[in-house]
Amino acid sequence: NLMSDDQSSLPTALQDKYVLTRRIGTGVCGEVRLAFERSTCRKLAVKIINKKNFQSEGTATRNAETEIQILQRVDHPCLIKTEDFYQTEDSYYIVLELMEGGELFHRVKSQQQLNEGVAKLYFYQMLCAVQYLHRNGIIHRDLKPENILLSSNEDTCLIKVTDFNQSRILEEAALMRTLCGTPSYLAPEVFTHASTTGYGLAVDAWSLGVLLFVCLSGYAPFHESFSENSVKEQIIRGEFTMVPSKWRRVSNQAKDVVRKLLVVDPTQRMSVDEALQHPWLQDQQMLQTARSLMYPEGEDALPAAAPSDAPVAASMEVESSTGER
Ligand SMILES: COc1ccc(CNC(=O)c2ccc3nccnc3c2)cc1
């Protein structure tokens, strides 16, 4: 447990600043623990990654910048922010803002399926996050409900994409590991193109299609119980199943987005940019809500034009004219 050897193996600088407590998440490369900043008692998440299954042996490092620096360089309201970073010879410790709502995976599971308006709000934020990554030359390659975190337990909340740097670091090793793991969210070209450098931005669009499918219906589009073909076969053929009872209340526009993302040929697949222009997302109320979640300071930064007949403004006018402030 934490109080025994683990605690002692933590960097002292980390221990000086934070108290690490229970495990709140686990991933391929390590675990996430709930932490408290000693000086402020602020709750944070500390992601512990042991290097041995993180290092892609042999492959040349991509460029001078380490992926962790990329993690620290990117800045978008729907991308998890790194607060602090430590390392020992066998582990990385990444201090992250705590996402109180936990993984999207658990939210969808507990609610069976999300209502369409909530799914649209979350999907729009994912599109913005992935569009930002793509514009910064980062392909996530591993988008799945476990990597989408919710900022609160409210339906209307900010979402953040996480783990986007790891897939870049695990580039070659990930392909091997990915081909061993459950392929449910993987795009067909991951199987057909041998090298990871072969596939482009379109893989993230496919995974977003699977994510939207899961949010709207509560189940995965490719599953061994749906066909005698393996999940891998179903993916390569783009053979997904929309169970009527689960999709009855979903709008045709939402289904259209899913169908245009789950296209096998990456050159024919709708891109993230095109998805952001799809009619289903031209929903002013959702866009307004998303904007206020993503850019909260945006609200007071632009002073609302006070209507001319506002009594408050008038009284303030009186005060200032008498010189009172
Ligand atoms: C007060 O203690 C808690 C409150 C809420 C939760 C739910 N959150 C989580 O379970 C969780 C999991 C992984 C994460 N990875 C990075 C950042 N934040 C994360 C949050 C977990 C603990």
Give the SS3 label for residue 32. Answer: strand
Residue 20 has pLDDT above 70, yes or no: yes
Q: Which residue has the least CA distance to atom 19 on ligand 1?
A: 99
Provide the residue type at 308 as one letter. S
Backbone φ and ψ for 130, nearest 5 degrees, come out as -70, -35
Whole-number pLDDT of residue 217: 97
Answer whether 24 contacts ligand 1 (Cβ < 6 A). Answer: yes
Contact (Cβ atoms closer than 8 angstroms) between residue 44 and residue 25: no
Test site for ligand 1: of 80, 96, 99, most ligand atoms within 8 A of the Cβ = 99
Residue 304 has pLDDT above 70, yes or no: no
As a whole-number percent, the residues of the chain with pLDDT over 70 amount to: 77
Max mean pLDDT range (34-48, 195-209, 294-308): 34-48
Residue 309, number of CB atoms within 10 A of its CB: 7
* Spatial strand order in the sheet of 91-97: 18-27, 30-37, 43-50, 91-97, 82-87
Closest CA to 216 of 187, 257, 179, 182: 257
Whole-number pLDDT of residue 6: 53
Q: Which residue has the least CA distance to atom 2 on ligand 1?
A: 34
pLDDT tens digits for range 154-207: 999 999 998 765 455 334 445 666 677 787 888 887 776 644 444 578 999 999
Nearest atom in ligand 1 to the alpha carbon of residue 24 is: 10
As a whole-number percent, the residues of the chain with pLDDT over 90 amount to: 57
The more confidently predicted of residues 28 and 285 is: 285
pLDDT tens digits for range 59-99: 433 433 455 666 777 899 999 988 999 988 888 898 999 99
Whole-number pLDDT of residue 319: 38
Provide the residue type at 281 as one letter. L
Residue 123, number of CB atoms within 10 A of its CB: 26
String of DSSP letters for 154-170: SSS--EEE--HHHHHHT
d(CA 128, CA 273): 9
The more confidently predicted of residues 190 and 295 is: 295
Answer whether 27 contacts ligand 1 (Cβ < 6 A). Answer: no
Query: What's the pLDDT band for 4 if we cut at 50, 70, 90?
Result: very low
Answer whether 162 contacts ligand 1 (Cβ < 6 A). Answer: yes
For 47, the token pair is 């992601």
Answer whether 218 contacts ligand 1 (Cβ < 6 A). Answer: no
Q: Regarding beta strands 30-37 and 102-103, do their DSSP bridges make them parallel or antiparallel, or are they unpaired?
A: unpaired
Taking the centre of ligand 1 as the mean of its atom positions, its distance from the CA of residue 240, in whole angstroms, is: 32
d(CA 86, CA 95): 8
Backbone φ and ψ for 95, nearest 5 degrees, come out as -90, 125
Catalytic residues: 142
Nearest atom in ligand 1 to the alpha carbon of residue 100 is: 5
